[in-house]
Structures are given as C-alpha cells and as structure tokens.
Amino acid sequence: MAVNVGLDIGANGVRAVALDIGKQPPVIRRIGQVDIERGAVVAGEIVDAAAVTDAVSRLWKEAKLPKRRIVLGLANQRVIVRQVDVPRMSEVELAEALPFQVQEYIPIPVEETFLDFVPIEEFTTPEGEPMLSILVVAAQRDMVETLLSAVGAAGVTPVAIDLQAFGLIRALFYGDFDLETTTAVVDIGSGVSQVVLVRAGEPRFIRLLQMGGEDFTSALVDGLDLTWAEAEDLKRQVGVTPVGGDSSALSASLPVEEEHASPLEARAVTILDRQAEKFIDEVRGSVNFYLGQADEPTLSRIIVSGNGARLPHLANRLGDVLGARIEPARVIEGLNTGKLSEGEVAAMQPIIPVPVGLALWEG
C-alpha cells in the first residue's frame, strides 16, 4: 500500500488522514482529530512546542496512524507566496536559478527561507520572449525548523512539507474542475484563513489572512465579558444575521440552529456582524485584486471550508457580498471511505479538506 498521512496542525486541534493513494479512487484508511491547548498555536505558528508534540503523540496513539510518508501542512504569515514571471526554462534549471530570479520579490533574504515554486502558465511577451508564470513559495527557515522539531519529538518524521493551500486544491478539485471559470476557495481556520483563486484546477492567487474563527469568539469575550467557553457556545448558537436565507446545500453541510432574540443574543449578533464585515472585506479585497489583475469579470462560485465556516450564516453573507454561488467543501465524494461510518464522514467533512489534500501529495 502507498499510504500517505496528511497532517494539519491548527490553533484548536490537530487533524490527520491516512490515505491509500495507490488505489483508484484513493481509500481513507485512518482519520483522527485531537484538541490542542489553546495558545499553543497562534496564527498558524507554534508558540508552545511541547503542547504540539503532546497533541501529535496523542493523535497518533488514538488514531493508530502509520509513522511513514507524513506530509505536513504550512499556513501562516511567515510563508510568502508571490506570482513571478521568469524566462522560460526547464524545471531543473529553474530550481537552480530560483534564488536569483525571485530575491527582489521576497522581503527577506532567500538564504533564510525554504524556496519552492509551482508553474502556472507559459506565455510570450510582445517582444517575442518566452516566459513562465510561477507561484513562488518562501517559508522562513526558523519557523519550519521549529515545526519539524515539535513534530519530530512525537516520533513523526515528515517526508514533505506542503502549503496547505495546495492541499486544499488537490482535495477539492480532485479530477473535477472547469477549465473556463474561476473559483474562490475560502478556508476559514481558527487563527488563519486562506483565500485561493483557482482556474483550470491550478492555483492562480493565494492570500493568507491573519483572521479566523477565534476572532469572532474573542470579540464576544471582550464585548460581553464572557468566558472563552461561553463565547464559543453563544457564537455557534446565534451566528451572524442571515442574508437571503440559507441555501439547501449549506444547510445540509453547515447546520444552523434556531434563532433567538434575548438581549444578550441580540448584542452577540451585532458584535458578530461587525467581525463578519471585517472578515468579508478582507476576502473581497483579495478576490477583487486577483480579478482585476487577471482581467476576469466575476467568480463562478466560492467553496468554503474550515471550522470557521460552521458559524451560522457567515458563508451565505460572504456569497451575497461577493455575488457568487456558495458551496460547502466536499472531498469525500471522490474517495473511497473504507470502513468509516456515514456519521464519521459527515462530522469531519468541513475540516478534512486540508489533511486529505496533503495526503494526496505525490513526490
């Protein structure tokens, strides 16, 4: 069996999927999730390495995951993604020349980073020069080494580190994409969210937002003098003000609870609405920037994923503001779920696109 394990370390939990990629369709062999101490991971970066090591150890023990072929995901503000146009050359030549080609686009010395690239498309300049558009990924070396050290202390040694955004694309567009339209993938994590613009199944633009579900909780804690647990419960109960109702697809995947109208709940909705406006403005700015650069008028759809996407009515507000159809992330349909029950699949559907996509990595 060619089994990969995709490992996603987030602010509120550690998730992993063991996937047999030697089968068609790939088969989910193991799946697991454990909580992590709050504050151990902040905005995608490790703050408490010992807590991360403990969480990874518990995950491997509870889910009985293999310790080989681990693919670890990255997503934080110390990962820089830029689109760069370079003279057309082979991938081998480009790998050697990459530090010299991209230094002016990276705001830190390239020797302090791990560099990689993804080809996007070839084109020719008006002067006839053959060029290649690439997405350059520069991950700060000390951040990566801290992550590897924390995971390694749990007895887990990754064979690869991959951008979470690339994993999302593999999971959500596995064998199913439209060549002619552009899709926005919005993954709303606890501390970091990702906006990925995809065309023909390939990433065209990636932006990491230092915002997520915890910002909504924190706003309730500060505004209503609640404990963190109380704010989490209230957030899930009331959500944001709905706009135009909830689509049946979202209602099936991202359940919402009955609305209430107590004074506390009304104040909570007002606070959550303000936070939603900030978040949606950031997403809209990213999408409009890409569409303007790419000379594309509209999006065909927005796919939402992540724990933060479970906030009642947030996804529909996002779609209403951006004028695009909203779809929940669905990755299970393209996979063999093996021995997983329907309940296990339904519970994990919004949060497993990243670990599934990481496990689909082929090196």
| pLDDT per position as a tens digit, 40-90 | 999 899 999 999 999 999 999 999 999 889 999 999 989 999 999 999 999
Q: Residue 244: its pLDDT value, please?
A: 64
Kindly state the average pLDDT of the residues 213-227. 97
Q: Residue 19: its pLDDT value, please?
A: 94
3-74+142-170+330-359 has CATH 2.30.110.10 classification:
no
3-74+142-170+330-359 and 213-327 in the same fold: yes
Say how far apart CA 133 and CA 143 lie, in whole Å. 27
Tell me the C-alpha to C-alpha distance, in Å, between residue 269 and each of 5, 191, 204: 39, 20, 35
Share in percent of the chain as helix, strand, coil (round to 5): 40, 30, 30
Q: Residue 178: its pLDDT value, please?
A: 60
Residue 68 neighbours by CB distance under 10 Å? 11
Which comes out higher in pLDDT, residue 19 or 256? Answer: 19
Which comes out higher in pLDDT, residue 153 or 262? Answer: 153
Q: What is the DSSP letter of 292?
A: H
**What are residue 200's phi and psi, to 5 degrees?**
55, 35
Show me where the domains of the chain are located.
3-74+142-170+330-359, 79-140, 213-327
Say how far apart CA 23 and CA 113 lie, in whole Å. 35
Tell me the C-alpha to C-alpha distance, in Å, between residue 283 and each of 100, 115, 172, 267, 350: 32, 26, 19, 25, 19
Say how far apart CA 265 and CA 292 lie, in whole Å. 39
Residue 355 CA neighbour count, 13 Å, CB half = 27
What average pLDDT does the chain have?
A: 89
Residue whose structure tokens are 């992993």: 16
Which comes out higher in pLDDT, residue 182 or 245? Answer: 182
Say how far apart CA 85 and CA 87 lie, in whole Å. 7
Kindly state the average pLDDT of the residues 31-36. 94
Which comes out higher in pLDDT, residue 351 or 117? Answer: 117
CA 58 from centre of chain: 23
Say how far apart CA 227 and CA 293 lie, in whole Å. 44
| pLDDT per position as a tens digit, 224-265 | 999 999 999 999 999 999 986 444 344 434 444 445 568 999
Residue whose structure tokens are 């990433």: 203
Confidence of residue 177 (pLDDT cuts 50, 70, 90): low
Give the pTM. Answer: 0.88
Confidence of residue 160 (pLDDT cuts 50, 70, 90): very high
Residue 91 CA neighbour count, 13 Å, CB half = 9
Tell me the C-alpha to C-alpha distance, in Å, between residue 131 and each of 85, 120, 155, 349: 7, 11, 44, 40
Burial letters 344-355, b for 16+ CB under 10 A, else e = eeeebbbbbbbb
User: Residues of the chain with pLDDT > 90: what percent?
Assistant: 71
Closest among 352, 350, 357, 193 to 287, alpha carbons compared: 193
Residue 310 has pLDDT above 70, yes or no: yes
Q: Residue 351: its pLDDT value, please?
A: 83
| pLDDT per position as a tens digit, 326-350 | 999 888 777 888 887 777 777 777 7
Taking every pair of Cα atoms in the chain, the longest distance, rounded to a whole number of angstroms, is 67
CA 13 from centre of chain: 14
* CATH architecture under which domain 213-327 falls: 2-Layer Sandwich (3.30)
Say how far apart CA 183 and CA 200 lie, in whole Å. 9
Residue 176 has pLDDT above 90, yes or no: no
Name the pairing type of β-strands 27-35 and 41-42: unpaired
Q: Residue 112: its pLDDT value, please?
A: 94
255 is written with which tokens? 């359940």
Peptide bond into 328 cis (omega under 30): no
Kindly state the average pLDDT of the residues 169-190. 82
Beta strands in the chain (DSSP E): 3-9, 13-20, 27-35, 41-42, 45-46, 70-74, 79-87, 113-124, 130-140, 158-163, 182-188, 193-199, 202-209, 301-305, 325-328
Say how far apart CA 338 and CA 309 lie, in whole Å. 26
User: Residues of the chain with pLDDT > 70: what percent?
Assistant: 92
Q: Residue 346: its pLDDT value, please?
A: 72
* CATH architecture under which domain 79-140 falls: 2-Layer Sandwich (3.30)
Name 124's bridge partners.
130
Residue whose structure tokens are 């670990």: 355
